[in-house]
Amino acid sequence: MTLASTAAGILIQIAFLGVGSVVNLAVTISSAVGGLLTSLVGHYLIAMRRGAELLDGGLRRELHGMTETNRILQDQLTVPSVSLLERDRRELVKQKLDSIPSAHRDLVIKVLKYILQHGEADPVAIIAGGILGSSANAHPIQDALAMASYCGLTTAVPGSYNRRIVVINSGLKEALTYHLLGE
């Protein structure tokens, strides 16, 4: 490429000054050096522009990726709006949990968490689940289930008379999950 630009400088000299000007060595060399410098400067400017365009394109893609990641993270951070009905249910559940005597509240909360996680429960299943340790008997758990039922937090499964199976009150399940499991 550099040789072509040198030859171009000499050809321009011949075009403007004629063939006889090539005989003068000083003019020929100055024309060749001028063509070479013009070529180098031109190539440098073109390379700088293309490099900047490539860099801008890469940065644009990277910025677009970051913007998309940022949008996804912001969507994950946004707190879903809670309906007025659900807000009322959460307040009702909080009042019901606060109404349980403090001596029994921890056990009732453990039992409710167990039921939330397993869907349904009876005293035998809760003891087998080990929430009270290995030496537990069914009486405290039956008391906790009775308190939860009295507060309206649980309901008995129809037809489960031999083993009293209970589930979370379906209208309060989301509010209980919010208060007990933090979801």
Q: What is the tens place of the pLDDT at every residue in 24-34?
A: 667 667 777 77
**Residue at 1: amino acid letter:** M
- Say what the pLDDT of residue 68 is: 92
**Residue at 51: amino acid letter:** G
Select from 45, 61, 174, 164 the least CA-distant residue to 116.
174
Select from 40, 4, 9 the least CA-distant residue to 22.
9
Q: Where are the alpha helices (DSSP H) in the chain?
A: 2-17, 25-77, 84-99, 102-118, 123-129, 138-150, 173-176
Q: Where are the alpha helices (DSSP H) in 119-172?
A: 123-129, 138-150
Exposed e or buried b for every residue in 115-127, given b needs 16+ CB within 10 A? bbeeeebbbeebb
Q: What is the tens place of the pLDDT at every residue in 82-110?
A: 788 888 888 988 888 888 888 888 888 88
Select from 166, 153, 156, 138 the least CA-distant residue to 105.
153
Measured between alpha carbons, how far is 22 from 34 in angstroms, rounded to an integer? 15
Measured between alpha carbons, how far is 53 from 150 in angstroms, rounded to an integer? 72
* 9 or 91, greater pLDDT: 91
Q: What is the tens place of the pLDDT at every residue in 119-173?
A: 777 776 676 666 666 556 667 777 888 888 888 888 777 765 566 777 787 788 8
Asked if residue 13 has pLDDT above 80, the reply is no
Asked if residue 20 has pLDDT above 60, the reply is yes
Angle of helix 102-118 versus helix 138-150 axis, rounded to 10: 90
